[in-house]
Amino acid sequence: MRHLFGISERRACRVLGFHRSTQRHRATRDDRDLADKLRTLACERPRFGYRRLHILLRRQGETVNHKRVYRVYRNEGLAVRKKTRRKGEAHTRLPLTSPTRANERWSLDFVSDQLANGQRFRILNVVDDGTRECVLSYASTSIPGSTVARLLADAIRERGKPEVLLTDNGPEFTGRALDQWAYSQGIAHHFIDPGKPVQNAYIESFNGRMRDEFLNVHWFLSVPQARLSLAIWRRDYNVVRPHSSLGNLTPHEFARQLAG
């Protein structure tokens, strides 16, 4: 447009009412590098949506607007398929007090899965409700109350003693072994009402994330292999994975913030 029909660019823009800069814009954005990084992260974390992937990109030093991440995320077909759930019986949601410091309350629960050969195994999960840290995750074909007590004792030597344990009414938790151990340690043991898992919301939420992000995307040949993979995932959950309810901090970062 420099000398269109013998008219200079400056004069033509003045006559037509255009700013000269609008006639010189050249598209320079290239999303190929961003798309490659998003595909890599989405492959590593197939159950993460674009918001968490955006946080991980920023941690890698990538300065990119979340809207651009969303656009590339959709164009690359990386959107996570949402699973439909059958409607169940509605339960009254009782308020669950929120601890404000580490070791104020630990929640315990089990999740189940199976090996490649069909053998069932269970995972004991323990979560610090104050920091949202996963205190321990242990897989085995059998986890009686005595094993629960032993695992808790090991965790206490590493991070200190909780004031309260919160569990459901499963036989591993209501048996004599755990009851006597908790009493000897001076730890209160509280039970939720039967059939009311919403009263143990922190561990239920954690179990859901484990199912969606770990168990549903891995399969195991043996229990030792499951334990190794579980240890790696637990560390990633505590140290790397952003937690939306903690302002996108990791549980480990949030724990340090509470301690400071």
Instruction: Tell me the pLDDT tens digit for each residue of 12-65.
Output: 777 777 776 666 655 456 778 887 787 787 777 776 777 888 888 887 888 887
Give the pLDDT band of residue 90 (cuts 50, 70, 90): very low
Q: Tokens 């301690």 sit at which residue?
A: 259
pLDDT at 11 over 80: no
Lowest-confidence pick of 4-8, 74-78, 137-141, 158-162: 4-8
Residue bearing the bigger pLDDT, 16 or 230 = 230
Lowest mean pLDDT among 3-7, 151-155, 186-190, 219-223: 3-7
pLDDT of residue 96: 58
- Cα angle for residues 110, 111, 112 (degrees, 5° grid): 125
Count of other CB atoms within 10 angstroms of residue 72: 19
Alpha-carbon gap, residue 76 to 35, rounded angstroms:
7
* Residue 1 pLDDT grade (very low, low, confident, very high; cuts 50, 70, 90): very low
Which among 239, 199, 210 is positioned nearest to 139, based on CA atoms?
Answer: 210
Average pLDDT over residues 213-228: 94
Residue 24, CA distances (Å) to 7, 19, 133 in order:
16, 10, 53
Q: How far apart are the first and last CA of the chain?
A: 62
C-alpha span between 213 and 207 (Å, rounded):
10
> Residue 84 pLDDT more than 60?
no
**Contact present, 146 and 211 (Cβ < 8 Å):** no
Residue 94: what pLDDT?
40
**pLDDT at residue 207 greater than cutoff 80:** yes
Domains of the chain: 1-76 (no CATH), 105-259 (3.30.420.10)
pTM of the prediction? 0.70
Quote the CA–CA distance of 162 and 159 in Å, as a whole number: 9
Residue 21 burial (CB < 10 Å; 0-12/13-18/19+)? exposed
pLDDT digits (tens, 9 = 90+) for 150-193: 999 999 999 999 999 999 999 999 999 999 999 999 999 999 98
- Run of H or E residues at 31: none
User: Is a pLDDT exceeding 80 seen at residue 220?
Assistant: yes
pLDDT at 122 over 90: yes
Band of pLDDT at residue 4, cut at 50, 70 and 90: very low
Q: pLDDT at position 172, please?
A: 94
